[in-house]
Amino acid sequence: MTAVAGIALVQPSGRPGSLRRLLRKADGFGLIELLIALLVLNVAIFATVAAFNAGILTLRRASRTSTAASLAERQLELYRALGYGSIALASAPLDATYTSDPQAVARMPMVGVCPGTVPPEACAAIQPAVQGGDGNTYRLDTYMHERVEPTTSPFPGRSVKRVAIVVRDVRTLAPIMRVESTFDQSTGA
């Protein structure tokens, strides 16, 4: 019998101290601890690799979007350098990707040939292979709409042309970027 703080404790019958001896033995615990440590380490490594993969995909997507925006703005700069009367698209065969886009609805008719002073890429409705700054190839589709803007004065409305550039992935033809600009006849720009 053992006394602790004045209270008598009775040891269990059977083999006294056998449980203590079993708990003191460390046989097999090193292997189990090692396996648990490896499991925790694997989870941490896989989480880190997944974060790097997500970061790489996000950077690639951002690079493509940035390049597409740059190509669209460069195309619009061609039209900004032209006079209002020179902004037109030359007749060309149009594919289903071009005609099924929402921008193709109510587009203005195309002229027969591109005027001589206008760069050919400014008259092309479809540019199938434009090299981007990131080394990838993109497709540029250009849509033009002409309408008369109403005015509140007694004068008739003024004519404007809305130019929309859609930059697409060459492999999937999915749109990456859409940019629009309006050109006013009264200002000539």
According to the model, what pLDDT value does residue 53 have? 96
Q: How many CA atoms lie within 13 A of 54 on its CB side?
A: 6
Tokens of 172: 């999937």
- Whether residue 89 contacts residue 98, with contact meaning beta carbons closer than 8 Å, is answered with no
| Per-residue pLDDT tens over the stretch 89-114 | 888 888 888 888 888 887 777 877 78
Mean pLDDT, to the nearest integer, of 143-157?
77
| Nearest Cα to Cα of residue 125 among 97, 91, 101 | 91
One-letter amino acid at 3 equals: A
Inform me whether the pLDDT recorded for 16 exceeds 90.
no
